[in-house]
Amino acid sequence: MKVVVVGGGVAGLVTALSLHAAGMTPLVCESARELHAVGVGINLLPHAVRELTELGLGDALEAIALPPERLVYCDRRGRRIWEEPLGLAAGYRWPQFSVHRGKLQMLLLDAVRTRIGPDAVRTGMAFERFEHQEPGVAAQFVDRRTGASVVLDADVLVGADGIDSRLRDRLHPDEGPPRGNGVQMWRGLSRYPHLLGGRAIVVAGGRPGDKFVAYPVADPAVEGGPTLMNWVLEVIRRPERGEELDRSHRPVPMDEALAGLAGWELPWVDLPELIRGSTGIHEYPMVDRDPLPRWSFGRVTLVGDAAHPMYPMGMNGGSQSIVDARVLAWALSRHDDPVRALEEYEHLRREPLNQLVLANRESGPEKIIALAEEIGGPVSAEQASAVSQGYKELAGCTTAVLNSRESWSVSPVGS
């Protein structure tokens, strides 16, 4: 079975690796002329790490990532509200990893080219449109280097081209642009010592737009030195009436970033020092899209942020994209009819992910610190645990479910 995958990000590359492991022939078409290791930090939850491990990438991932041991929620003054173990420490059979997104993408890209072939990823290919043809689908691209139109025939077409998916736009042409909630995320990477005595993910503040997040993504370059710390500071800046949402990822000047720290006093981190040490600070608006009533049309479907872009609450966006890819390959391997396979894939994934999108609009597990802000003090352990466990159940990633679930693998890697 030949599958054309639109998009060479994490979702698209894992889709290609999963399809190849299942005995299919994937081709990834990426609009960027070149792929580089850009971006900041990303967290891969145990359900995503399991899938990458079963693809034979566990050791390579461990070599470029750090396994955080605990999640610590604090209020705006830095006082601890709730703490819970992560990964192996929480009883999962697989760790959680924090990693530089660009390094992860390059790891996946190298795996695709090594396993499938050097031409398995074609860059500079901008998706335009598709047509169903018996017995397959024809996808039209523009070669950005030459301007020529390129038509690729496939049995299945998969959109993995992110929140601004051109393929999603073809399937749902009246949807409109992504929606924002007025929150801008200032993100950077800085050399800084571990926070709170170890490998912790720290989330401080209250509601969206009033939060600080930090976690290490790489060990110190020399023993005893600073780690590479990913950090996020949320601020509220709503567009003026009639003004379009700025999604240019504009660089944030240092004086503006420092001014945004006004009122923040966290005793366990020197925020000005952290921000001054950043290699670059960029602004990302917090945006998502409304849940879709359909992902699949005939032999065409969506995965990852093209299917279910969500607010970054609970560290689930990238992880769920990886699970999408694995379930899609599993479903395609079970049916001679690709249309039935895509129907099964969507049946398994769409509604749970739609619910997760809506839950993240209500802060997801970070509702714990929002509740603490609302009542002016710590929430009870029972209440915090209920919020955390309820979110894991919604995301399908409790220890009981993940540790006992059958594998999505359909054939040994390299068979």
Calculate the alpha carbon distances from 144 to 174, 282, 330, 332 in Å: 26, 27, 33, 31
In the 8-state DSSP scheme, what is residue 414?
T
pTM here is 0.95
**What digits encode the pLDDT tens for the residues 1-14?**
999 999 999 999 99
Type and span of the H or E element at 188 = strand 179-192
- Residue 378: per-residue pLDDT: 82
pLDDT at 39 over 90: no
**How many CB atoms are located within 10 Å of the residue 326 CB?**
28
Coil/strand/helix, residue 102: helix
Place of tokens 């891969």: 44
Residue 73 one-letter amino acid: Y
Instruction: Give the integer Cα–Cα distance in Å for 33 and 122.
Output: 9
Q: How open is the CA angle 391-202-267, to the nearest 5 degrees?
A: 145
Q: Is 255 exposed, middle or buried (0-12, 13-18, 19+ CB in 10 A)?
A: exposed
Q: Could you tell me which of 46, 77, 90, 107 has the C-alpha nearest to residue 266? A: 77
- Residue 413: per-residue pLDDT: 40
The string of DSSP codes covering 207-275 is STTSEEEEEEEE--SSTTS-EEEEEEEEEE-PPPTTPPP--S-PBPPHHHHHHTTTT---TT--HHHHH
- Residue 198: per-residue pLDDT: 78
Q: Give the chain's mean pLDDT.
A: 94
Please say whether the beta carbons of 127 and 152 come within 8 A. no
Confidence at 134, pLDDT banded by 50, 70, 90: confident
Does 136 or 241 have the greater pLDDT score?
A: 136
Average confidence (pLDDT) over 205-209: 92
Residues 6+ apart with CB under 8 A from 278: 188, 189, 190, 231, 257
Average confidence (pLDDT) over 281-288: 96
**What digits encode the pLDDT tens for the residues 243-256?**
778 888 999 999 99
- Residue 78: per-residue pLDDT: 94
Residues 6+ apart with CB under 8 A from 319: 43, 44, 45, 47, 48, 397
Structure-block tokens of residue 21: 């492991």
Average confidence (pLDDT) over 60-78: 95
Going from the N-terminus, what domains does the chain have, and what CATH number goes with each? 181-191+206-211+225-286 (3.30.9.30)
Please say whether the beta carbons of 269 and 242 come within 8 A. no
Instruction: Give the integer Cα–Cα distance in Å for 316 and 355.
Output: 12
Instruction: Give the integer Cα–Cα distance in Å for 394 and 413.
Output: 30
Average confidence (pLDDT) over 366-372: 95
Average confidence (pLDDT) over 371-400: 94
Confidence at 330, pLDDT banded by 50, 70, 90: very high
pLDDT at 21 over 90: yes
- Residue 242: per-residue pLDDT: 64
Average confidence (pLDDT) over 203-230: 90
Please say whether the beta carbons of 65 and 43 come within 8 A. no
Please say whether the beta carbons of 112 and 16 come within 8 A. yes
Coil/strand/helix, residue 57: coil
